[in-house]
């Protein structure tokens, strides 16, 4: 369903700042990543979003295209981020149809709630493969095109960019690993590694004009992840822990994306931009709203959420 502009991007940004640019996004049919792409499209970009489910991905691509008249948004389903060749084929299609790739968003993710003793090694590996390996494969497949774009949009910092910006990647991470979060060992490990991957990329590819940054969302309302992994009472508890006094919105993440990809982000490289209202600083071990330490000692499986592991597998 098409969204009103105020739901996915602020009025701070000038229309057309990403004209003739292309953004490639894994997980692009998801709630957060689709908002990031929608903001870029509204501001002039064309886009290619990647997903596993063809119908959902294609439907979201058509929906995102409503953000700007004449926008081109491709939705490619049946793409497995765990397989490099699958992503490379998607990148090839994107470049053939849209002319290149200037910006990459690595946003594909998987998660569930389970303690370490409840989750199997295979369950742990599945999250690592989707989140971490998927992010690496996204980078690997798009990097040659980002390098090309960075060279075409080199910025000296002293004069306005004549041809806009390009050659930038954002990894969508999380704050789970900052203070430690129960029931989230696989995702915490994956996101910590993604932060490290971005830092390495910053060092290696910065001399070629590439910027690599991380956006770490906090609790964002009305998202698939929040719906799957939190009960209504958990959301209430989380909201009380956010210093700014509210849950985040997808627009908060989209605005951070525009900042990093735009002229505003020229000198930001290797950064982790936390967009959580300060929540991680107050959360601690009960940051997901689940009673601590009682839940740790009971060994009971979390009830009332869709994203959980039922037993040792």
Provide the 8-state DSSP code for 108: -
Token pair of 68 as six digits = 């700007």
Q: What angle do CA 17, 107, 217 make, to 5 degrees?
A: 85
Measuring CA to CA, how many Å separate 56 from each of 116, 151, 250, 253? 32, 35, 19, 21
For residue 306, tell me if it sits in a domain: no
Number of domains in the chain: 1
Per-residue pLDDT band at 313 (split at 50, 70, 90): very low
Among 7-11, 131-135, 194-198, where is mean pLDDT lowest?
7-11
The answer to the question of residue 50 being in a domain is yes
Whole-number pLDDT of residue 241: 82
What pLDDT, on a 0 to 100 scale, did the predictor assign at position 305? 59
**Mean per-residue pLDDT of the chain:** 90
Nearest to 57 by CA among 68, 48, 44: 48
Grade residue 289 by pLDDT with cuts at 50, 70 and 90: low
Closest Cα to residue 262, out of 107, 103, 156, 48?
103
163 within a domain of the structure (yes/no): yes
Detail the DSSP E strand segments found in 88-173.
Answer: 103-106, 168-172
Q: What is the pLDDT of residues 61-91, one digit of tens each?
A: 999 999 999 999 999 999 999 999 999 999 9
How many degrees, rounded to 5, is the angle at CA 179 between CA 174 and CA 182? Answer: 80
Q: Is there a domain that residue 271 lies in?
A: yes
What does residue 294 show for φ and ψ, rounded to 5 degrees?
Answer: -50, -45
CATH number (domain holding residue 175): 3.40.50.720
What is residue 284's predicted lDDT score, i.e. its pLDDT?
A: 59
Cα–Cα dist 48/75, whole Å:
6
Higher pLDDT, 279 or 105: 105
Q: Is residue 172 part of a domain?
A: yes
User: Which are the catalytic amino acids?
Assistant: 173, 191
- Residues 165 and 132 sit within 8 Å (Cβ to Cβ): no
Distance CA 253, CA 216 (A): 9
pLDDT in tens, 230-274: 677 777 777 888 899 899 999 999 999 999 999 999 999 999 999
4 occurs within a structural domain = no
305: in domain: no
The confidence score (pLDDT) of residue 235 equals 77
pLDDT of residue 295: 61
Q: Please provide the DSSP assignment of 265-276 as one string.
A: GTT--S-EEEES
Which domain does 199 fall in, by range? Answer: 17-298
Give backbone dihedrals phi and psi of 213, rounded to 5 degrees, phi first: -135, 165
pLDDT higher at 155 or 70: 70
């Amino acid at each position: 369903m098409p969204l009103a502009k105020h739901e996915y991007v602020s009025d701070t940004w000038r229309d057309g700042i990403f004209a003739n640019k292309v953004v490639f996004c894994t997980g692009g049919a998801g709630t957060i990543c689709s908002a990031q792409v929608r903001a870029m499209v509204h501001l002039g970009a064309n886009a290619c979003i990647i997903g596993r489910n063809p119908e959902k991905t294609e439907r979201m691509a058509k929906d995102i295209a409503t953000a700007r008249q004449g926008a081109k948004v491709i939705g490619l389903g049946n793409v497995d981020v765990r397989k490099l060749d699958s992503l490379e084929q998607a990148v090839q299609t994107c470049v053939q149809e849209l002319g290149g790739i200037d910006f990459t968003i690595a946003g594909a993710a998987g998660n569930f709630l389970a303690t370490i003793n409840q989750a199997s090694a295979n369950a742990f590996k599945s999250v690592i493969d989707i989140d971490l390996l998927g992010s690496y494969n996204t980078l690997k497949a798009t990097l040659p095109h980002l390098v090309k774009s960075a060279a075409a949009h080199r910025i000296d910092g002293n004069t306005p960019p004549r041809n806009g910006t390009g050659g930038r990647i954002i990894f969508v991470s999380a704050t789970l690993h900052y203070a430690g979060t129960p029931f989230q060992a696989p995702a915490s490990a994956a996101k910590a590694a993604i932060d490290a991957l971005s830092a390495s990329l910053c060092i290696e590819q910065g001399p070629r004009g590439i910027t690599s940054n991380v956006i770490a969302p906090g609790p964002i309302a009305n998202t698939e992840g929040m719906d799957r992994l939190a009960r209504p009472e958990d959301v209430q508890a989380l909201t009380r822990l956010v210093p700014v006094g509210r849950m985040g919105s997808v627009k908060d993440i989209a605005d951070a994306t525009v900042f990093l990809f735009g002229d505003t982000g020229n000198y930001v490289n290797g950064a982790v931009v936390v967009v959580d209202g300060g929540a991680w600083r107050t959360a601690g071990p009960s940051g997901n709203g689940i009673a601590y330490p009682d839940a740790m000692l009971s060994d009971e499986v979390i009830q009332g959420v869709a994203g959980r592991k039922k037993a040792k597998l």
